[in-house]
Amino acid sequence: MATIIERENATRSSSSEGFFLAMAAVMSVTIFAGFALNLAMGRSTFAVPAVYHIHAGIFFSWVALYLAQAWSITTGRIDLHKSLGRLAYLWAPMMVVMGFVIMIASLRRSGGPFFFDQNEFMISNTMLLMLFGVLVITALRRQRYTGWHRRLMLVAMSILTGPGLGRLLPMPLLIPNAWRIMMVITLIWPVIGMIRDQRREGRIHPAYLWGVGAIIAVQILADLIAYSSWGTGLTQQVLAGSPGAARPMHAFLPPGFSM
């Protein structure tokens, strides 16, 4: 009997590791596809200031790190997994800092994506970046609790799929709700995890409920702040004296724009 139970546990563990590796791979491909499509269609270019390239290097290094972590644990390379985990303690804060830097650079250089309200783009990005950092550090501190660790990392990674999804979706057609629609779609990843938990375990792991609940709460709070007089005033201060201040604060279609 004990041998049968051990085999069942081993099979379940292997299946879980395979699931999280598959999710890491699909999310990584989604992010890469979004940026590659934009480049192929001429919507983006390598001819940008150095800060964009630095941000891209750090961002895609994190994506590779997340994928490598899922692969290392699935293939039983525990020592490698632990070493990469220590690297994540350094990389996660760098992600948050560079996220702030590129957001401000984008707003001041071009006004940010035209299909987003500038105030929502700035405030929501800021708060979600902070939440990403909190989720990652919490997950790293819960490495001994595998269920929490894996799921919190997945929820944190789902936030980062926003830029990739935003480049795959017809965002101009989603004005004036482009940001909210994009955020709802990023939740598809933890929702898939919830469905799997419900089917296999008969319940949803609380890590998903806390993680998704935090994203929803942060987004609601971000909107309340962004559309307050303080939020719009802060956005105007950040944009003051820059080319980005020339565009409307609300989302709009540039003259002559076509899909």
Whole-number pLDDT of residue 38? 87
Q: What is the pLDDT of residues 158-188, one digit of tens each?
A: 999 999 999 999 999 999 999 999 999 999 9
pLDDT value of residue 181: 95
List CB contacts of 227: < 8 A, sequence separation 6 or more. 119, 120
DSSP the chain: -HHHHHHHHHHHHHHHHHHHHHHHHHHHHHHHHHHHHHHHTTS--S-S-HHHHHHHHHHHHHHHHHHHHHHHHHTT-HHHHHHHHHHHHHHHHHHHHHHHHHHHHHHHHH-S-TTS-HHHHHHHHHHHHHHHHHHHHHHHHTTTSHHHHHHHHHHHHHHHHHHHHHHHS-GGGGTTSHHHHHHHHHTHHHHHHHHHHHHHHSS--HHHHHHHHHHHHHHHHHHHHHTSHHHHHHHHHHHTTSGGGGS-SS--PPTT---
Span 30-83, pLDDT tens digits: 999 999 998 888 877 788 899 999 999 999 999 999 999 999 999 988 888 888
Predicted pLDDT at 14:
58
* C-alpha distance from residue 190 to each of 23, 104, 142 (Å): 10, 29, 18
Tens digit of pLDDT for each residue in 18-34? Answer: 999 999 999 999 999 99
Write down the pLDDT at residue 146: 87
Q: How far apart are CA 58 and CA 102, in angstroms?
A: 11
The C-alpha atoms of residue 83 and residue 246 are separated, in whole angstroms, by 47
Q: In terms of C-beta density within 10 A (0-12 exposed, 13-18 middle, 19 or more buried), how is residue 179 classed?
A: buried
| pLDDT tens-digit readout, 70-126 | 999 999 888 888 888 889 999 999 999 999 999 999 999 999 999 999 999 999 999
Is residue 9 pLDDT above 80, yes or no? no
CA–CA dist 90, 85 (Å, integer): 9
pLDDT, position 2: 37
Are the C-beta atoms of residues 115 and 175 closer than 8 Å to each other? yes
Query: How many whole angstroms separate alpha carbon 169 and alpha carbon 188?
Result: 14
